[in-house]
Amino acid sequence: MTAPAPARDQARTARRSLLVWLAACAAGGGLALLAAGRVWVTLGTPGGAGGGAGGGPAGAGSGSLTGNDLVAWLTPAALAALAAVLAVLATRGVARRVTSVVVAFLGVAVAAGAWDGTRDATILSMAARHMTTAVTSSGHISVESRAWVWPLLTAAGGLVLAGAGVAAAILSVRWPGMSSRYERGAGRAGTGGTARVKDADRAMWDAIDEGEDPTA
């Protein structure tokens, strides 16, 4: 039996919104992962880069920090958000809403980490851990340059994930899921198998009633 046109239109709209949501999550998570691995800050010490006043070798007085160096949870949070996106597809009802909230929470964590990675206190603290001994032994570390585009893109990716999580918590009740698809397929297969067994039994009893040997 063919479904009514309004029902087909609603199902088509739900699938389309789900695909748009998945694309937004993939874009937000991918953007955060890409930007977090880039160099956010270039550091140095007075006279270190040229080996002049410090007397060190050339290049010993400079270093760089990526977003992951500055904020350790950026990449794990983005990966966890993408994993939660897949969990949204595999769940239904209350579990789907809860998983959607988790996506939003992880997106906020990514955006907050991007902001934290731009603070001077965070930069200087992480510089003492990641830069070479030749640089940190002087005790003077300065920020030579900052690539603001990468923390901004990381924050944008986190905000996209956060917004997608909120949208899923509201709209996901209308979306199809992997579990429902499999359940429908299993139900159809089970019904068809039962019908075939019943038909075979009926044919055997009909043959017996007519005096035929059903095992021949």
pLDDT tens-digit series, residues 141-169: 777 889 999 999 999 999 999 999 999 99
Burial class (CB in 10 A: 0-12, 13-18, 19+), 105: middle
pLDDT tens digit string along 4-21? 666 677 778 888 888 999
Closest listed residue to residue 164, CA positions, set 21, 10, 65, 11: 21
Query: What H or E segment, with its residue span, contains residue 41?
Result: strand 39-44
Distance CA 73, CA 109 (A): 8
pLDDT tens digit string along 47-69? 554 444 444 444 445 688 999 99
- Mean pLDDT, rounded, for 107-111: 97
Q: What residue spans of the chain are helical by DSSP H?
A: 5-36, 67-70, 74-90, 93-116, 120-130, 133-136, 149-171, 178-209
Residues in the chain: 216
* DSSP-based three-state secondary structure for 151: helix
Is a pLDDT exceeding 80 seen at residue 24? yes
What is this structure's pTM? Answer: 0.70
